[in-house]
Structure 1
Amino acid sequence: MVVGSAWVGTACAASLDASLLPRIQGATFEVVAAKPDKDPLTYEKPLPLELLDYQDRTDKYFSIGTAFAIGKNRYVTAGHVLMAGLDSLWGQPSLRDAKGNVYAIDKIEKFDLRRDLVVFSLVKDPAPEPLEINTSPVMNQEVYAVGNALGTGVVIRDGLYTSDTPEQEQGQWKWMRFSAAASPGNSGGPLLDKDGKVIGVVLMKSANENLNYALQMKEVLDAPEKNAVIDSRLSYRLDIFDTTLSNSFKGTFPLPQTLPDFFASYTKLFNAYVETQLKDILAKDADRVFPRGEGSDRLLYNEVWSNMLPRMIVRSNTGEWFLQSNTTKRQSLSNNGYLDVSMAQSKFVMHLRRPDNTPVANFYTDPVVLGDLLAKSGLFARTVGPEHVRITSLGKPISDTVHVDGWKRRWQVRTWTLPYDDTKIIVYCLPLPDGYAMSMVFASAGGAYDSAADLRAITDFMTVEYDGSLAQWAEFLKNTSLLPDAIKDVHLDVTYQKSLSLRTPRFNVAFTPDLLGIEPDSQLSMPLGMLPDHGKVIWGPVGLHYNPRRSESNYLVIYRNVKPPASLDESYASYWDKLINRRHPYESQAYAADGNTKIAAPKLAGDVGKDTVVYTAFFTMGGTQPQDKMKTQLDLLLKGLQVNEH
């Protein structure tokens, strides 16, 4: 039977006295949220809204649940129905009656998150005749679930009150189990006995069988009046390791409160809980969290920091930390721009190469430019009926801040919205010479703080190579407000076709076109990683790759190597021995590799016996080249390379 339209009788509902139906109809309401008035998004074409059902395209509200009256200006719904309005892009929940009248919620009178109940009043009470209450229902009797089934209006469906089952954590109360059909929109609606009296609040649909859950009305009536009660067991984890915390989110705050004040009080408690969980999970086995502990050494003493796509540092189940590798998909943009996209656990990780026709001044400072480039890559689409309509612009973000991670890198944090889906897009953007390294997540509006906190924590476990043309590097280094401390200490002096000089706190390199060409489009890649440094770990340049043009086979590579600890296996000691004793391939002898000719040698600051840091210099030329030519080029490279650390 549909409340608010023709009441179509059924055999099941016929046993419910027809004289009760107007009272049930008047006391039962949809819980609704207003559809956004404005859409910040731009689409590739007009949305084909005609493909939607009439009700979907004409209704100005989203239907999210059911509520009912139990007294004078006293209404009940499920706690999770009310909480759907927390930070929602759809606005705060309201009640709608069968005639389409909408009533704003006034004050929250009772709230128990664990029992999933809320009692509240309305700003303007329509004063329906409330439902009578039965606190002693009889098992195995016929019952009626009344609710907003799948957003199509309030319906009544019959079944049996079959059993009670203890609540899952401590058995402090019993859930009612019933066989009357229930859909997601039924949440918060009344469960009635054969006399039309409310015996429970419909809460959950069973996942595996048609036995659904309700909270007995006695629990609603006995709930405290003056305090909101929060006691919910939640699990918490980060994508970097398999550690999981299972704790209870607990707290109270005074009632009654207006709905905005209630949400503010809840948000304050929940956000503090998230921060506590984040702190605790990183403190758990803190001596084994990267870069601490022997499980970090294999990563710290390996040449692993040359990666164009951002990669997450994660811990295996054996306790070893490594760089996670993922399948990458490239989305091409105009004017040599592109977006490389990969998934790292539940997060997107991306590298955006700035299109050549996008001015640097706008690219780094105007988030609309970034959002439009992400949209043009085809990442976002809105489903309307059977069609997927591409979003071509995200508009202005609702927030644009900066986060400085533990390595002093400055991430731009932008949040955009998809109002039609009540979703936020949270993006952490690390400026690079050629564009951005990014991590991104889609989060429900109400869960955005939790998701953003995860992304914030994971920035300390992200690594990416700084890459770009010499022209891009020159523009990038001018934007000092974007630069991490380690890059601010890098000085690049270039005179095209004449000289290049790169100075860092740990090494310098300089050369002329006698070694390699120096042009605006010559490519300079600087791996930046976590550097063991005399008992501590810092973040900074670990070398460079230089190529006159990406298509050329001639290039140079410089890389920092640190004496490995004795705890690592023999392969590390053997590699170190090769370096300091100049054994192959570090003996300045040309050799063939992959159709090219290579030559390499170590470079130290002082004595072999005292140094714990050795830089390796590689020079590569295409095809087969003679030893004397390769040695001449290597000598030029070594002459211009200065090591400033021991």
Structure 2
Amino acid sequence: MKFFTTFCCATLFLLLLCGNVLANNNIEFLDKDLIQDLNHGIYEVVTPKLEDDKITYARKLPFDKLDYVERNEKYRSIGTAFFINEKELMTAEHVFGLRYFSLNKDFFIRDSSSRVYSVNTIRKCSTRRDMLVFDLKEYPEKITPLHFNRQVEIGDTVFSAGNALGEGISYRAGQVASFTPERVYGEWQDIRFSSPASPGNSGGPLLNTAGEVAGVIVQRSNLGENYNVAVPISEADNLGDTADFYTRNVTERIQGTVASLTKDWGYTASLPATAPELARQARNELRAFHGTLRKELHEQVREKNFPDGKRFRYYLRNQSVIHGLAEVTPDISFRKWTVDQEDLEKEPLAEGQNVYHGTLRSQINRFRRPDSDYFDMLVIAEKPKGTDLKMFLDSPSMILDTVLSAVPYFRYVGWERVPITSLGKPEKTEMWRDKLGRRWTASLWYLQYSDKFLYSSCLPSPKGAVCTIMSTRASCSQGITLPLPENHATNWWLAMRAV
């Protein structure tokens, strides 16, 4: 009996194994000659790597520790594009990211021989469909425009073609898994597919076995599964003659409170236009929309919120003595206000000069990797002995250099981190006064190597300056303008016992 059971199990296992082998043998692959033709129609999208000679470091940057390609690469790969006719290419709109501020202003396509071709103008653009069409200033000698196939079914073999992980164009097989309604209004059915998609595949074509475009790859699964998203190529027929910008659920909040306001934003712009020109229009409109939301939100809570709230001053007067820095926050009804003391660390620099620093309370719960190069803190920076106070306060670079000498801010190169000793002079500096008449100095620095900003807002103190200093990705900033939004400053009660 045992022998019979064992024999049956072994036979079943062999049958299943043979079935899998037969199934694998039935997978269709792209023909080698077809791939060679497709390589003349599918390209990387790249931007130049940026550096800033104003930044100084504690030691020489160890670029020799990087892999060969990374240390010799002059461009940063950001996505994929493909020719749809002899003069125009298509990609995903988010590859260019025109709504969001970036220090990268120049876009190129790159072929397999590493030759680059500069983008000329944007011809069509839709953020809702995540599609963008552009032309070039000059063209490759040989071009293979890709053909469209608007008919695709569940179970069809498809290939994700594109610049996976920034390592050149590759083709990976899978199947159409399902169709799901687009997220906002359900106007079309997005294609869900099992072909692998990696960073860099965005904007690339989803191909059928004939090398025809079924969709534009716009999103990979965040769950570690091959359940990725492509917009059907049929939606290219609905791209208009104007750029269509749309952002869902734009939200403004008052720091330290539960008050918030959320609305959708939309904007149309004339085409054709250059990428920097179109980006400037979209960013200005989105920034203005944020300002309108912020103003509307402040008006809604003006009679309750700092500094106009009727009960705010009563509760502030009844707090215990404040040492160092503190945050003033209301309860959900804005009727009771409390002061939360910030515990600051002291870093002695020289005789009579110290820097006190602590993490911004609003940033404590934000996810940060151990090797994160974000900088979010409250500081009291005392001027060097013998330095005139006014000269110190009028020099944002001197204030920041003082902070950096006490609290390291690192640039990561491979596995090594190198302290930054100075960011040099800020790109922008402006002075303004808040509702309490306090004079703020707001400054902005560019970190071009990482497409980030670092900005500070400082108040004068008897021994130096009291500042909030924060860094953020340029794409998250909505294009910071100075002076910084007033709620960034007035909701932090930078109180010192000596003032």
Q: Same fold (TM over 0.5)?
A: yes
Q: Give the Cα separation in 2 of the matches to 1:59 and 1:84.
A: 24
Over 3 Å counting, the alpha-carbon distance change for 1:285 and 1:145 in structure 2 is same
Counterpart of 1:402? 431
Counterpart of 2:453? 424
Counterpart of 2:11? none
SS in 1 for 2:487: helix
- Equivalences, count: 459
Preserved CA contact (<8 Å) 2:52 2:449: no
Counterpart of 1:642? none
Counterpart of 1:316? 331
After TM superposition, the structure 1 = structure 2 runs for residues 378-393 of structure 1, keeping only pairs within 5 Å, are 378-393=407-422
What is the deviation of 1:254? Answer: 1.2
Counterpart of 2:92? 78
Q: Give the Cα separation in 2 of the matches to 1:282 and 1:226.
A: 34
Counterpart of 1:205? 220
After TM superposition, the structure 1 = structure 2 runs for residues 189-268 of structure 1, keeping only pairs within 5 Å, are 189-208=204-223, 209-268=225-284
What letter matches 2:398 in structure 1?
A: V
Over 3 Å counting, the alpha-carbon distance change for 1:14 and 1:357 in structure 2 is farther
After TM superposition, the structure 1 = structure 2 runs for residues 30-69 of structure 1, keeping only pairs within 5 Å, are 30-69=44-83
Is 1:97 the counterpart of 2:114? The answer is: no
Over 3 Å counting, the alpha-carbon distance change for 1:292 and 1:360 in structure 2 is closer
What letter matches 2:430 in structure 1?
A: T
What letter matches 2:126 in structure 1?
A: D
Preserved CA contact (<8 Å) 1:68 1:190: yes
Over 3 Å counting, the alpha-carbon distance change for 1:449 and 1:225 in structure 2 is closer
Preserved CA contact (<8 Å) 2:286 2:478: no
SS in 2 for 1:276: helix
Q: Give the Cα separation in 1 of the matches to 2:303 and 2:274.
A: 46
Q: Deviations over 1:159-192 (max 9, x none)?
A: 1111111122221222111111111211111111
* TM-score when normalising by structure 1: 0.67
SS in 1 for 2:200: helix
Counterpart of 2:344? 328
What letter matches 2:287 in structure 1?
A: N
What is the deviation of 1:432? Answer: 1.3
What is the deviation of 1:361? Answer: 4.7
SS in 2 for 1:26: coil
What letter matches 1:353 in structure 2?
A: E
Is 1:142 the counterpart of 2:171? The answer is: no
Over 3 Å counting, the alpha-carbon distance change for 1:304 and 1:154 in structure 2 is farther
Q: Deviations over 1:479-533 (max 9, x none)?
A: xxxxxxxxxxxxxxxxxxxxxxxxxxxxxxxxxxxxxxxxxxxxxx23xxxxxxx
Counterpart of 1:370? 399
Identity over the aligned pairs, expressed in percent?
Answer: 29
Over 3 Å counting, the alpha-carbon distance change for 1:247 and 1:158 in structure 2 is same
Over 3 Å counting, the alpha-carbon distance change for 1:297 and 1:408 in structure 2 is closer
What letter matches 1:289 in structure 2?
A: N
Q: Gaps spanning 5+ residues in structure 1: where?
A: 1-9, 468-524, 527-646
What is the deviation of 1:357? Answer: 4.3
Counterpart of 1:132? 147
Q: Deviations over 1:227-258 (max 9, x none)?
A: 43435333332322122322101111111111
Is 1:344 the counterpart of 2:373? The answer is: no
What is the deviation of 1:130? Answer: 0.8
Q: Deviations over 1:245-286 (max 9, x none)?
A: 221011111111112211111122111111012112212333
Is 1:106 the counterpart of 2:137? The answer is: no
Q: Gaps spanning 5+ residues in structure 2: where?
A: 1-23, 364-375
Q: Give the Cα separation in 2 of the matches to 1:360 and 1:352.
A: 12
Q: Give the Cα separation in 2 of the matches to 1:252 and 1:326.
A: 45
What is the deviation of 1:337? Answer: 2.3
Relative to structure 2, which stretch is displaced further, 288-297 or 16-25?
A: 288-297
Preserved CA contact (<8 Å) 1:402 1:413: yes
SS in 2 for 1:324: strand
Counterpart of 1:17? 31
- Specify the structure having the higher radius of gyration (Cα): 1
Q: Give the Cα separation in 1 of the matches to 2:350 and 2:179.
A: 63
1:171 to 182, 186, 195: 186
What letter matches 1:459 in structure 2?
A: A
SS in 2 for 1:218: helix
Q: Deviations over 1:583-603 (max 9, x none)?
A: xxxxxxxxxxxxxxxxxxxxx
What is the deviation of 1:26? Answer: 1.4
